[in-house]
Amino acid sequence: MIIALIVLFVGMGGGALAANHYLITSTKQIKPSVLKQLKGAKGPAGQSAPGQVGAQGPRGDTGPQGLTGATGATGATGATGATGATGATGATGATGPSDGWFDYSNGIDSNGIASTSFVLPAGHYILNYGATVWNADNTFGLLAECRVFYATSNEVIAASSHASVGPSAYAVLANSAALDIYPGPYTVELRCEKQSGNGSFQATHVQLAAIAVANYHWTP
């Protein structure tokens, strides 16, 4: 554009220069005052609107795992849950060890009776009882007997054991029985004494024992 205007200007400068042609290759060849007048028209404005969004790029690699965060505060205590249903009844346990009672005495009291006793609570019992008795003189016909009583009522609760003891002789009386105490407790007492006859009754090793049991098993 600039070169074309220069050529036109030179062509209009007179016939003396019409026959000469100049090639302008630098703005330094143009007079400054002339150069200031050489201005082209302002070009159109460039595109001002943003361009279209490009396609989404590929997904980047997964980054490294972050550090563990600090422990959070303890939460509030929850409400108490409802009471659960009652469980099934468990199996019956094995029978535990038996309880036992025992008492022992020697000699007779002022009434001629040898005795021993203890208190039993309600339950099932096996009784074992007995004594060694003798006739302290030379007479015949001494009949000795041992029985178990309820102490307060004098009711006989166990079978009697008896023996005829000759002059200066002795005998061992022993027996056993099953006993139910209900409702209890009751005092049971073994009494050994002369039932009838002559002779001087004496007794020693007077023993009463009771063993608590869960059940009786009778054998024919």
Cα–Cα dist 115/81, whole Å: 63
Count CB neighbours of 60 within 10 A: 6
Over residues 12-30, the mean pLDDT reads: 59
Over residues 92-99, the mean pLDDT reads: 76
What integer pLDDT is reported at residue 12 of this predicted model?
A: 43
57-58-63 Cα angle (round to 5): 120
Over residues 142-155, the mean pLDDT reads: 92
What integer pLDDT is reported at residue 63 of this predicted model?
A: 83
Sequence-separated (6 or more) residues with CB below 8 Å from residue 147? 156, 158, 159, 160, 161, 190, 191
Residue 21 pLDDT exceeds 90? no
DSSP state of 197: S
Cα–Cα dist 12/7, whole Å: 9
Cα–Cα dist 35/29, whole Å: 10
Render pLDDT for 183-204 as a digit per residue (tens, 0 to 9).
889 999 999 999 988 889 999 9
Residue 168 near residue 137, CB atoms below 8 Å = yes
Residue 218 near residue 126, CB atoms below 8 Å = no
- pLDDT, the chain, mean: 83
Sheet holding 123-135, edge to edge: 100-105, 201-213, 123-135, 170-181
DSSP state of 111: T
Render pLDDT for 56-92 as a digit per residue (tens, 0 to 9).
888 888 888 888 888 888 889 989 989 989 999 988 8
pTM for the full model?
0.56
CA dihedral sign of residues 181, 187, 193, 196: negative
**Rg of the Cα trace of the chain?**
68
